[in-house]
Amino acid sequence: MEALIIVDVQNDFCPDGALAVQEGDAVVEPINELASRFPLVVATRDWHPADHGSFAERGGPWPVHCVQGTSGAELHPEIDRSRIDLVVDKGQAPDREGYSGFEDTGLERLLRERGVQTVHVAGLALDYCVRATALDARRAGFEVVVHRDATRAVNVEPGDDERAVSELEAAGARVV
Ligand SMILES: [Zn+2]
């Protein structure tokens, strides 16, 4: 049993969003294509309270983004909702990072209940939430495939994307 996890393809991470990833919306088309190939598709959303600790005004590294219930926190409008079986909201604890779709969400249990052995990962951003989600999936014992053409990176430091790929491969994930 294989599942696709679509990580955080939300308006705030796409061009004109509060924390836009360069070419973030370029992942939409390959993700819609991928989603048609898997029997179980889960979409995660970064879903922060208004006072989340990752925001600069609270000493965190990021501008305010993906606040619960705002349009910026919604999935990109061109993501094919009809292919998504479940939406998992993450990053809800004010003082926890919440990069990973497995952090405080019950996603691991949900995948096990469905008999999932292999997890495919795509979305935003490669060097943060895709990386953290894929690494946690490996730690939980799943086979992991990261679809690089269906991701984009923030690249706060040049080369963060390549470092993320190396780290994922070292952890036993396949990057295709
Ligand atoms: Zn966030």
C-alpha to C-alpha distance for 29 and 78, rounded to whole angstroms: 8
Amino acid at position 131, single letter:
R
Q: Which of 158, 109, 156, 142 lies closest to 168, judged by CA? A: 142
Q: How far, in Å, from the CA of 65 to the mean position of ligand 1? A: 6
The model carries a pTM of 0.97
pLDDT of 96 = 92
Q: Give the residue ranges of DSSP H helices in the chain.
A: 28-35, 107-113, 131-139, 160-170
Q: 25, 129, 136, 161: which one is catalytic?
A: 129
Residue with tokens 């086979």: 143
Ligand 1 center to residue 115 CA distance, Å? Answer: 29
Task: List per-residue pLDDT tens for the chain, 176 residues long.
Answer: 999 999 999 999 999 999 999 999 999 999 999 999 999 999 999 999 999 999 999 999 999 999 999 999 999 999 999 999 999 999 999 999 899 999 999 999 999 999 999 999 999 999 999 999 999 999 999 999 999 999 999 999 999 999 999 999 999 999 99
Give residue 93's pLDDT.
Answer: 95
Looking at residue 86, what is its pLDDT? 97
Look up 8 and say whether it is catalytic: yes
| Neighbouring C-beta atoms of residue 108, cutoff 10 Å | 18
Determine whether 90 is an active site residue.
Answer: yes
Dihedral of alpha carbons 163, 169, 173, 176, sign: positive
Cα–Cα separations (whole angstroms), residue 22 to 25, 88, 110: 8, 24, 32
Q: How far is CA 84 from the centre of its chain?
A: 14
Interval between CA 77 and ligand 1 midpoint (Å): 19
For residues 80 and 39, give the distance between their C-alpha atoms in angstroms, rounded to a whole number.
15
Task: Tell me which of 90, 127, 136, 161 is the catalytic residue.
Answer: 90
